[in-house]
Amino acid sequence: MKTDVAIIGGGAIGASVAYYLKTMDPSLKVTVIERDPTYEIASTPRASGGVRRLFSLPENISLSNYSIPFFETFAETMAVNGQRAEISFKKGGYIFIVPPSSVDMLKANYDAELSMGCNVVWLTPDEIKHKFPSMYVGDLGAAVHSPDDGWLDPYAVLMGFRKKAQSLGAEFVAEEVTGMERHGAQVTAANCASGLRIEADTFVNAAGAWAKEICAMLGFKVPIEPLRRFEHYFECEEEIEPLPYLKDPERLAFRPEGKGYSGGVPTLAEPRGYNMEADHDYFENVVWPALAHRFPKFERTKCKNTLPGLYDQNDLDGNVIIGPGADGLGNFQMLAGFSGHGLMHAPGCGLAMAELILKGRYETLDLTRFGWQRVADGAPLPERGII
């Protein structure tokens, strides 16, 4: 078959690209290749759903400044035949807390966020304690609170983008890419396990944790590796005041969820690989001590469920690789390596990719520094402090 744009990967990122392409050019033929329409082991439905503006890089702040307001009106924007695409957006806020040794770093990030119009509040340890009395603050130096941020339902976002893109004419095919064809600086076709051959003018690698496999089919390596993470659901036997989404120096990250909480402690020391096994000792050995230290009331807590998932971890610098140029290929667009930021930045990156493909340049959000050139140069562009 022949299409104008073939998007490999039908998660939130790929579906967002399809939506923006069809919105900007309804005549464009867009094909999304997704091997598992049930998304059983896809990363999107296993994400925490957090959306925040708390970053240091202007690109990530800009992506959040675009994407979060988009999520606030998502239900109406993604409605199909009058049926709203509800995503349970909760504006519960975010808070980053740091020890005294990291106050200068946090202040630099805070200043960057303020300069870009973010609603952020600086808190001293006493102010943190007053706002969240259950929190232990004796080892903290400061915090930044962003009350307009929050969390949403990842699977609902994915399905909202997918259904809207389909309603606009994007075709989703249940196929697994097993080979790629290239001729010089151009990718010519994707070959599927069923025998289907898909030719396209432009290819987008939105395969997430599996993005490196697509690159390998074209004969080059990318610094994106699958990194296992756990999303735990746990409940506390003692009452705690309403909390925002919290991230602390030990990488503890959690938020309210129903009667309890959802979150965990991701570790970059985890061996890379496609490991989807749940480690049921991880909560007790790693997460629970961090919780109980920060909130003594969590001494009495029970983990009810552990859901493993995969980050598409960019081991170069933890940020997305977007755009053409990988291995000199001009019509092969990278859009992977989000390292945990994919869902929250899906709207902004979908728009940016659509602009690149249709207009040959960024118009709304300048993500040039997140391009392939930094990979080729070995010049990482990491976030400062907590990512």
Pairing of strands 197-205, 332-336: parallel
Cα-Cα-Cα-Cα dihedral sign, residues 311, 99, 287, 88: negative
**Residue 171 host element (H or E):** strand 171-173
pLDDT of residue 157: 97
The model carries a pTM of: 0.96
Query: Of 280, 295, 311, at which residue does a domain stop?
Result: 311
pLDDT of residue 126: 98
pLDDT of residue 387: 67
Whether residue 39 lies inside any domain: the answer is yes
Whether residue 387 lies inside any domain: the answer is no
Numbers of helices and strands, H then E, in the chain:
11, 18
Whether residue 88 lies inside any domain: the answer is no
**Which CATH number characterizes residue 369's domain?**
3.50.50.60
Indicate whether 131 and 49 sit together in one domain. no
Query: Of 289, 311, 333, at which residue does a domain stop?
Result: 311
pLDDT digits (tens, 9 = 90+) for 124-173: 999 999 999 999 999 999 999 999 999 999 999 999 999 999 999 999 99
How many CB atoms sit inside 10 A of residue 199's CB? Answer: 14
**Residue 150 host element (H or E):** strand 150-151
Indicate whether 164 and 66 sit together in one domain. yes
Indicate whether 321 and 362 sit together in one domain. yes
Indicate whether 268 and 363 sit together in one domain. no
Whether residue 124 lies inside any domain: the answer is yes
Cα-Cα-Cα-Cα dihedral sign, residues 281, 286, 287, 288: positive
| CA-angle at 104, arms to 101 and 107, nearest 5° | 130
pLDDT digits (tens, 9 = 90+) for 236-286: 999 999 999 999 877 899 999 999 999 998 776 788 989 888 888 899 999
Indicate whether 282 and 195 sit together in one domain. no
Indicate whether 10 and 143 sit together in one domain. no
Which three-class secondary structure state does DSSP give residue 124? coil
Indicate whether 328 and 193 sit together in one domain. yes
Indicate whether 174 and 263 sit together in one domain. no
Whether residue 386 lies inside any domain: the answer is no
- Residue 51, classified by CB atoms within 10 Å of its CB into exposed (0-12), middle (13-18) or buried (19+), is buried
- Residue 370, classified by CB atoms within 10 Å of its CB into exposed (0-12), middle (13-18) or buried (19+), is buried
Query: Of 311, 329, 358, at which residue does a domain stop?
Result: 311
Whether residue 65 lies inside any domain: the answer is yes
Cα–Cα distance, 284 to 290 (Å, whole number)? 10
Split into its structural domains, the chain has a count of: 2
Residues of the domain holding 342:
2-83+153-223+316-377
Whether residue 89 lies inside any domain: the answer is no
Q: What letter would DSSP give residue 181? A: E
Q: Alpha-carbon Rg of the chain, whole angstroms?
A: 21
pLDDT along the chain (387 residues), means of 10: 98 98 98 93 85 97 98 98 97 97 96 98 98 97 98 96 98 98 97 98 97 98 94 93 91 93 84 86 92 95 90 96 98 97 97 98 98 98 86
Indicate whether 211 and 178 sit together in one domain. yes
Indicate whether 218 and 188 sit together in one domain. yes
Residues 260 and 228 sit within 8 Å (Cβ to Cβ): no
**Residue 94 host element (H or E):** strand 94-98
Q: What does the block give as tokens for 266? A: 């991701």
Indicate whether 71 and 99 sit together in one domain. no
Cα-Cα-Cα-Cα dihedral sign, residues 6, 8, 13, 14: positive
Indicate whether 28 and 9 sit together in one domain. yes
| C-alpha dihedral, 186 to 315 to 307 to 72, nearest 10° | -70
Q: What does the block give as tokens for 46? A: 């296993």
Phi first, then psi, for residue 54 (nearest 5°) are: -80, 85
Whether residue 354 lies inside any domain: the answer is yes
**Which CATH number characterizes residue 98's domain?**
3.30.9.10
